[in-house]
Amino acid sequence: MTSASTATNITWHDGHVTPKERAQLLKQKGLTIWFTGLSASGKSTIASALEQHLLHKGVNAYRLDGDNIRFGLNKNLGFSPEDRTENIRRIAEVSKLFADSATVAITSFISPYRADRDSARKLHADASIPFIEVYADVPVSVAEERDPKGLYKKARTGEIKEFTGISAPYEAPENPEIHIRTDLVSIAEAVQQITAFIEKFK
């Protein structure tokens, strides 16, 4: 799997609406909130609550969930290191498009490799779109104890190969914008912390 473009005879076509004009017309600025963390770290739970909270505040937000994306856009990808990288490359592009449309894009992906998350960040930076990395941090022992999908149990028995945190690596963020110990704070507290942080981007 390669991220290099193989298309030929293509030209980028700018529209008539500038990002600034779009933000003024829709009365909000777009950005991407990128959740990363182990399976069962609470990423999707907090992301779902955040999406609901923002929508109830009148903020246009949309959540892109790791499992959900693999039912459609990325259903041809497995969990090899190469496929994981391509999975994140695609979702980075999609979240950038959502954010460019003046939507708050909320992504919830394990995204285990630091280099892939850095690439997603650079993609947004090159487009002058805010990228907020949220590290849903939890000890592996706690995530394994939660194990709502029974994945850790399957990984321990060898039924699932290349499982992040057990038989595949997870490279924790070094300088995330937001670091949440999800075993120490409530969902509501996590949502409040993220909401307060993004106020500066209004």
For the segment 49-98, what is each residue's pLDDT rounded down to a tens digit?
A: 999 999 999 999 999 998 899 999 999 999 899 999 999 999 999 999 99
For the segment 27-55, what is each residue's pLDDT rounded down to a tens digit?
A: 999 999 999 999 999 999 999 999 999 99
Per-residue DSSP letter, 123: H
Q: What are phi and psi of 64, to 5 degrees?
A: -115, 110
Percent of the chain with pLDDT over 90: 81
- Structure tokens, 97: 């498009």
Q: Identify any residues that bridge with 196 across adjacent strands, giving them in sequence order.
A: none
Alpha carbons 167 and 115: distance in angstroms, whole number: 19
Catalytic residue (choose from 48, 108, 111, 167): 111
Residue 165 CA: distances (Å) to CA of 89, 110, 114, 139: 21, 10, 14, 10
What the chain holds in terms of domains, given with CATH numbers, is 19-139+171-201 (3.40.50.300)
Is pTM beyond 0.85? Reply is yes
pLDDT at 25 over 70: yes
Res 105: pLDDT: 98
Res 11: pLDDT: 81
111 a catalytic residue: yes
